[in-house]
């Protein structure tokens, strides 16, 4: 499921498009935010389904090998298809029902699946699993295979982008969801696919309000940032940094039940993956100054248990 950090990233991505594209209305931005987040779930299901397709490719490959190697037949000790996670996923009805409902299919892209399996079976970890008796820690093994051959594959990324042009911006979040599904299956015994939201009504409201209030207060937030960045070359400040600062101010001023430290830590953390190497220090410094000044002007009011003094 999407944590609040991921919801903030979705808002950041949408605001980036809004501020870059002339004539991109707030209504259009909100519509794209909601629909794009829903498309993310289809991408998550598509990536999970790819694991099933790879398992089927493995079965076909083994049949082909068995028919060709009559003498000195190659022995397979274990298989990707028989890992606990893949066995469970392939027969888990809520997953197969969700795939059917969303019309998820790789049938038109079987050449791509075949190429992906070719790379998979040449991966050293795959050969260790399938052709030796060396001990393998399955949870770590399957996560490594996924990271190397699916998450880390430019080929898989390009195929997915061809399947749906809107998936590119959500691919990193979808990979996080798949890896979390695998991790929870093995470590927490949570044999289930993730929902898109933790609390659908509350999370949707958070995303939409963060987007709209950041846009609505853009001029005021811009002035606040400009007054605190006089020693910086504004022309060289990354647009993503400016947007994250504006989103943070929105939370400081208007989201009264979110602690200041939570907001600051979230945007500092997001900047590590979505902006420049210098962004962490820049955002940290500017937000510290903004919080100090807004507090002195009594413009930050937090409510709720444990937040009054923040």
pLDDT of amino acid 130:
87
Q: How far apart are alpha carbons 181 and 47 in whole angstroms? A: 11
pLDDT reported for residue 309: 47
Query: Which pLDDT value is given to residue 63?
Result: 82
In the prediction, which pLDDT does 71 show? 45
| 8-state DSSP, 301 | -
Q: Which parts of the chain sit beneath pLDDT 70?
A: 66, 68-75, 233-235, 304-310
CA 83 vs CA 7, 57, 78, 158, 182: distances in Å: 32, 15, 8, 27, 11
User: Which one, of 106, 93, 113, lies nearest residue 46 by Cα?
Assistant: 106
User: Cβ atoms within 10 A of the Cβ of 183, count?
Assistant: 14
Write out pLDDT tens, residues 269-306: 999 988 888 889 999 999 999 999 999 999 998 876 55
* pTM (predicted TM-score): 0.81
Q: What pLDDT, on the 0 to 100 scale, is given for residue 310?
A: 45
Q: What b/e string do you get for 261-299 counting C-beta neighbours within 10 Å, with b at 16 or more?
A: eebbebbbebbeebbeeebbebbeebbeebbeebeeeee
Q: Which CATH architecture has domain 217-296?
A: Orthogonal Bundle (1.10)
Q: Give dist(CA 80, CA 280) in Å, integer.
A: 40
Distances (CA, A) of 206 to 30, 93, 215, 217, 291: 12, 31, 14, 16, 21
Question: What's the pLDDT at 105?
Answer: 94
Cβ-proximal residues to 78 (8 Å cutoff; 6+ apart), any chain? 129, 130, 136
Predicted confidence at residue 239, as pLDDT, reads 92
Distance CA 185, CA 190 (A): 5
Domain ranges of the chain: 4-187, 217-296
CA separation for the pair 14, 302 (Å, rounded): 27
pLDDT for the residue 75? 64
The SS3 call for residue 166 is helix
């Amino acid at each position: 499921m999407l944590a609040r950090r991921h919801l903030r990233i979705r808002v950041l991505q949408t605001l980036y498009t809004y501020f870059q594209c002339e004539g991109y209305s707030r209504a259009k931005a909100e519509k794209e935010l909601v629909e794009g987040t829903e498309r993310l779930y289809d991408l998550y299901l598509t990536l999970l389904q790819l694991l099933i397709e790879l398992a089927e490719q493995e079965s076909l490959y083994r049949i082909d090998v068995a028919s060709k190697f009559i003498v000195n037949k190659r022995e397979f000790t274990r298989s990707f298809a028989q890992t606990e996670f893949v066995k469970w996923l392939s027969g888990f009805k809520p997953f197969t029902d969700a795939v059917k409902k969303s019309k998820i299919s790789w049938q038109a892209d079987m050449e791509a699946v075949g190429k992906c399996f070719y790379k998979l079976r040449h991966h050293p970890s795959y050969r260790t699993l399938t052709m030796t008796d060396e001990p393998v820690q399955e949870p770590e093994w399957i996560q490594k295979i996924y990271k190397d051959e699916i998450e880390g594959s430019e080929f898989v990324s390009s195929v997915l982008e061809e399947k749906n042009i809107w998936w590119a911006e959500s691919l990193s979040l979808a990979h996080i969801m798949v890896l979390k599904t695998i991790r929870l299956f093995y470590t927490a015994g949570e044999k289930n696919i993730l929902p898109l939201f933790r609390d659908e009504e509350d999370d949707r409201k958070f995303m939409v309000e963060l987007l709209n209030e950041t846009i609505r207060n853009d001029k005021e937030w811009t002035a606040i940032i400009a007054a605190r960045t006089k020693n910086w070359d504004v022309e060289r400040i990354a647009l993503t940094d400016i947007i994250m600062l504006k989103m943070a101010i929105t939370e400081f001023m208007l989201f009264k039940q979110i602690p200041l430290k939570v907001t600051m830590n979230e945007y500092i953390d997001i900047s590590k993956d979505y902006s420049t190497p210098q962004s962490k220090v820049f955002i940290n410094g500017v937000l510290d100054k903004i919080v100090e000044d807004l507090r002195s002007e009594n413009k930050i009011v937090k409510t709720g248990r444990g937040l009054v003094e923040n």
